[in-house]
Structures are given as C-alpha cells and as structure tokens.
Structure 1
Amino acid sequence: MEPFPSHSPGFVNLLASQSSPSIDVDSAEALGNSPGLVKPLERRKWGVKEDLVLISAWLNTSKDPIVANEQKVVSFWKRIELYFNASPQMIGSVPREWSQCKQRWGRVNAEVSRFVGCHEAALKEQSSGQNENDVMKAAHDIFFNDYNVKFTLEHCWRELRFDQKWRSHVKDGAKEKRKEPAPEVVLDDGDVRPPGVKASKVGKRRKHRNEAAFDRVESLLAMKNMYSKQKILDRLLAKNEETLSSQEKELKTKLIGEML
C-alpha cells in the first residue's frame, strides 16, 4: 500500500476543515458594529480641556437653584453629561458618558482636596523672600512626601481653589512665623533689678489670696477635729463611770480639759 502523499489535495482540505476560520483584520470594525456584539467602552485619558469643562459642568449643575440637592445621583450626573458634551469646547471630541464623568470627578475631587492641605502647609512655612512659585514647589514636595505620587492636577486646583469647598483657610501671602524661644539672659547680682510697683502689688495680692485660702482650710480642719472630739466625749459621758477602763477615763479627762 502506497503512503498518502503530504501534498495530496485531500489532506490539505482535511486540515483546512479542522482549523479555525481566519479573521480579517480590516473587517474588525465592521464586526464590532454588528448588532450581536457588545463593544466595551474605550478607556481614554482625560486632557486638560476636558477636566476644565467637567469642573465647569459640576460647579454649574451642583449650584443649580432649580434642582439643588434634591436631584438623584444618576439624574445629577446625566445632567453633567449633557452639559459636558454640549460644551463648545468639546466640538469634535468623542462624547463622554455620565459614568466616566463621575469616575473622573471622584479622582479630581480627592486629589485637589489633598493638595489644598499641602498648599496650606506650604503657606504656613513660607519665609520672607519666597514667592508663589516657591510655595507651589514646596506644596508639590509635601504632596509627594505624603502620598508617594506626584500631583498632576494643578490645572484643576487652580480652577477650584477659590470655590468655597476647596478654599484654603490660609490667605495667599499669609505667613506664620515660628516663635523662637527667647534667649536666656543670666544677670549678675549687681544687675538684678527689684520688682516694679505693679509687680509688687500683684505679688502681695497673690500672697494674701493664698494665705486666706490656707487659713480657711486650717479653720475647717480644726472644726472637724473639734467635732470628732466632741462626739467621743459624748459617748464616754454616756457610759457608766464604773464600766470605763483606765484608758477611757484618762481620755475623758483629757478631752474635758481641752473643751474647757
């Protein structure tokens, strides 16, 4: 029996029938648009222009006096979606869905809030001669040291910094100088000056108040001691003289002598 040749048309057709059908790369877009397939949302990076439009949409929608805070979460973000995609700055851009806007805003809000604290700390440490650029550099350094990541949303912070929610409690240019301890001055005996008139009066009043308080305490203790002795003496006097021990008779005589 002759071996089946590898180049036989029947063998090639058999392999072709068992192999997976090839996909035309050029027709991938057409397949993606077919009704039977669900194409996932494209993950796109947000640009500076999109961030600024999103911030504007959030500020205007959240402060809308018509709906105010009574609007539901989904309807609130759908309003932001409409505002965002209808912005003239978004002409020619791929529209964003409300869930994408909500997710991006969550990051912007968190990062900017953190940077506000870092900027406040930098303002408090601002020394004379430092300008706003120096403060910003210090704020970025603080942010990186605290969160181990660079702050990349400065454009968002500059847009939100004057809004009430993100306004810094430290005014720009305000400085809080650290109070250095006053140097200790050791005076010679000849340099020691007597206290002034006011200081002497204050010292006397303080001394008199302390003495008066001490006298009141002593008086209360004396009264308490006298009351205790009186109770002991009353118990001894109530007993029959013949039943008293020698120690009780001695104590009775002593207490009577103190009371007289």
Structure 2
Amino acid sequence: MQFSPFSTQSENDVTIIPPPTNTGSSRRTLWSIEDDKMLAHSYYTISQDSKIGNEQSGPRFWKRVEEYCNANVGNDRPKRNVDRLKSHWTLVKRLTYDFHTIYYRLQGMRPSDANDADIIVRATEEYKVKHGRDKFGYEHVWAICKDVPSWQPSFVARQASLSKSSTNQISSASVGGSVEGSGGGSSQGNEGGSEEIFP
C-alpha cells in the first residue's frame, strides 16, 4: 500500500476492513420447488383441519401456516415469516388457479381422442399466451391443489353464486339502507379469513 509523503500513518497502523459477509438479511433467498410444495401443503393442511380451518382469524391462520411450514421444511432451507409466506402464496395461488380454470374448461370440451396429458399441454399453451410467459412454472403446486375440495368445479360454482348473492345484498344496502345483521363484520367463509375470490 502506498502512502502520501505527507501522511503520518505507517503501514503497521493500517486497519484492514474485511469485505461484508452475507448474513441473509440483505437479499432474498429464491423459492425452490420444494419450498413451493411445502407452502401449498401447509396452507391446505391448516385450512382443511376441521377443528381450526375457518373458525380462526386471518392472522391466526397464517401464524399456524408459518409454524407448520417452518417445522417441516428442510434443514437447509430458510425459515420464512408470515409476510414472506403470504406474499408468495398470493402470487403462486393466483397463477396456479388461473391455469386450473383453463384446464377444467378444456376438460369440458375434451375431444374423445384426447387424454389428460393432451389437455394439460393445451392448457399450458393457452396460459402462456394469456400471461405472456414462456411457460407455466407451478405445475408442482397445481399437482397438490387440483384435488383439494375447494378447487373442484362444483365448489367454485357455488362460491361464485354466493359471491354474486353477497354483491347483490351490498348493492341493495347501499340503495335502501343497511342489511339487518350485517354489522360490518367480515365473513370467515374463505380459508383463513382470506378475501380472495379463488379458493
């Protein structure tokens, strides 16, 4: 190291500052396929527990998801908090459910000579065009979610009907006054007190 000729500092006085180490707090760890699968499994394990499913508030529901997910994720994977889990799941579930609805619509128009693999290929192609993506990246999540009761067409149709009825009630209340018993409270009908339209 070179010093200015006017410097009073000697080479022995130099303090070597090591480069900063990555503690994991300054950058996010990428989600792996196994991370996605564990989150999906955790979400539906908690939401389908008959003792706790829809009888708890959103915050409590997600706290249980966090506890379950972090207790079962691999030792080499990061432990994520509620905000990280909920944020990622909102995106993954929305995209996965969109693929799911495309798949079921195509199943309803399935040619006699087409098999399930053919329908998945067609659904993937339609999904890519719709979202401007080069692939559907959450097949591993869909494989878990597609058989969940709340993802079945009959359930989705019933929820859509209930949602439409609720909207009509709100519209009536805004015109003719409040609906008796509404009280401004939120329904716990969706999993974990979620306000999402999809299951």
Per the normalisation by structure 2, the TM-score is 0.63
In the alignment, structure 1 residue 84 sits paired with structure 2 residue 69: yes
Name the % identity: 24
Deviation at 1:110, TM superposition (A): 0.4
Higher share of residues assigned helix: 1
Higher relative contact order (CA 8 A, sep 6+): 2
Query: Do the aligned residues in 1 keep the contact of 2:29 with 2:78 (CA within 8 Å)?
Result: no
> Structure 1 unaligned runs (5+)?
1-6, 34-38, 170-260
1:148 aligns with 2:144: no
Alignment length (residue pairs) = 147
1:24 maps to which of 10, 13, 18: 18
Matching of residues 22-171 of structure 1 within 5 Å: 23-25=17-19, 28-29=20-21, 40=25, 42-87=27-72, 89-149=73-133, 150-168=135-153
How many Å separate the matches in 1 of 2:8 and 2:151? 70
The unaligned stretches of length 5 or more in structure 2 are: 155-199
Structure 1's consecutive aligned runs of 4 or more residues displaced over 4 angstroms after TM superposition are none
Residues 1:123 and 1:43: Cα distance change in structure 2 (over 3 Å): same
Q: Work out the CA distance in 2 between the residues paired with 1:135 and 1:58.
A: 27
* Separation in 1, partners of 2:34, 2:52: 27
Q: 1:83 to 1:9 in 2, by over 3 A?
A: same
Contact 1:116/1:168 (<8 A) preserved? no
The alignment partner of 1:113 has SS state of helix
Q: How far apart are the structure 2 equivalents of 1:65 and 1:131?
A: 35
CA distance in structure 2 between the aligned counterparts of 1:75 and 1:14, rounded to whole angstroms: 62
Alpha carbon RMSD of aligned pairs, Å?
Answer: 2.7
For 2:26 and 2:107, locate their aligned partners in 1 and report how far apart those are by CA, in whole Å: 42
Instruction: Give the aligned residue type for 1:164.
Output: P
2:5 aligned with 1:9: yes
For the pair shown, the structure with the greater C-alpha radius of gyration is 1
